[in-house]
Amino acid sequence: EVEELSDEDKAIAEMLRQYNGVWVFVEQTEGEVAEVSWELLGEGRKLADKLKTELCAVVIGEGVEGLCKESFIYGADKVYTIDEPVFKYYRTQAYHEAMCGLVEKYKPEIILMGATGMGRDLAGAVATEVATGLTADCTGLDIDDKGNLMQTRPAFGGNIMATIMCDKHRPQMSTVRPHVMDMPERQEGKSGELIRETSSVKEEDIFSKVLEIIKDKGHSNEEDIAGAEIIVSGGRGMMNSDNFKILQELADAIGGTVGASRSAVDAGWKPHSRQVGQTGKTVRPKLYIACGISGAIQHLVGMQDSDVVIAINRDKEAPIFEVATYGIVGDLFEIVPALTKILVQM
Ligand code: FAD
């Protein structure tokens, strides 16, 4: 028996057919690309292959020709670019107008952006303008058997993973956390179709002006932890801020950096830029050493993809041991200095 589609369903199916391609917004600040953009090209490739559609990068800025080339190397089939002085610095109004113009003209099926300050800001503005849904802070993406995007993200304080669909609207939009998806291999020499667009955005129409850029020292710290290969993290078990010195010594001995659980950050022992977890950074180091951290789900979602996890905790039932490659049950104030001593001698 064949079920007759209602007129509304037919109209939706017709609308869905007009949208094609997986787009990744390539985020750049003064020519420096946020790594999550390349991670998204890697993930976008998988989605585009499943949908049998093309993978496109969107590069907006001033003097961004080199970044278009890089986008091909990271896997884009096609690059849409707008290269104009008005886009030298990120401003919501200008980028939003440019992006919406491209979306209305080319009708992408999926748009992915990094869950960074810029990506979160721009994605929200674009989704509102083009009247579609947006799933923020995704940690997993896939395609269902009807060709819809399945967008997975933690919900209810990280206690469940929710899979969210936007099956009656296009484009389907997600922001994705940095360091959750794998970096794709560079395909040196690869090229593709470059589409240069112009925008109708005029400097005099933009409400905000950039007068001066003052680099935030804290910002470089944030980069440190998110991209670090070795992280020694401390939790409530550290007892106070002074005790973090022993973690710093261990980190220094092995070329690492210091992270923290939310409890340690809330207590004021470490700045928020060092927090690992759902409301902090997602990290994927080669080695993660968790000291005096119980392993609450909100912490685990931020570090469980680390290559090797060493947990030091005096409670052998602590959930951190469930994700640990190696577990040491004992007092961190004995174990950490002893470890540092051995490693310094090596
Ligand atoms: P505790 O759970 O108190 O654990 C301390 C551990 O230290 C214990 O296991 C104890 O056995 C051990 N210990 C104590 N003394 C010693 C010692 N001398 N030697 C060895 N071990 C010792 N948490 C995050 O970390 N990151 C987040 O981003 C985050 N986001 C959140 C978002 C929401 C919406 C909510 C509701 C919570 C979030 N949390 C987050 C908080 C999370 O639920 C936990 O409360 C927090 O991770 C616990 O931190 P902790 O492991 O340091 O402290």
Residue of minimum CA distance from atom 20 in ligand 1: 313
C-beta of residue 163 within 8 angstroms of C-beta of residue 151: yes
C-beta of residue 133 within 8 angstroms of C-beta of residue 127: yes
Q: What is the pLDDT of residues 3-36, one digit of tens each?
A: 788 888 888 889 989 999 999 999 999 999 999 9
103-117, 150-164, 225-239, 278-292: which has the minimum mean pLDDT? Answer: 150-164
Q: What is the pLDDT of residue 216?
A: 61
Q: How far apart are CA 300 and CA 318, in angstroms?
A: 12
Q: How far apart are CA 21 and CA 104, in angstroms?
A: 13
For residue 82, the surrounding DSSP H or E stretch is strand 78-83
Q: What is the pLDDT of residues 211-228, one digit of tens each?
A: 988 876 544 444 578 889
Task: Work out the burial of residue 317: count CB atoms within 10 Å of its CB; fewer than 13 is exposed, 13-18 middle, 19 or more buried.
Answer: exposed
Residue of minimum CA distance from atom 9 in ligand 1: 294
Q: How far apart are CA 235 and CA 231, in angstroms?
A: 13
The CA 308 to ligand 1 mean position distance, Å, reads 19
Q: How far apart are CA 158 and CA 204, in angstroms?
A: 44
C-beta of residue 269 within 8 angstroms of C-beta of residue 239: no
Radius of gyration of the chain (CA): 23
Indicate if the pLDDT at residue 137 is higher than 50. Answer: yes
Binning pLDDT at 50, 70 and 90, where does residue 98 land?
Answer: very high
ipTM of the complex: 0.99
Angle ∠(26,31,37) on CA atoms, nearest 5: 20
Task: Tell me the best of 241, 279, 300 to mutate to test the pocket of ligand 1, counting ligand atoms within 8 Å of each CB and taking the most.
Answer: 279
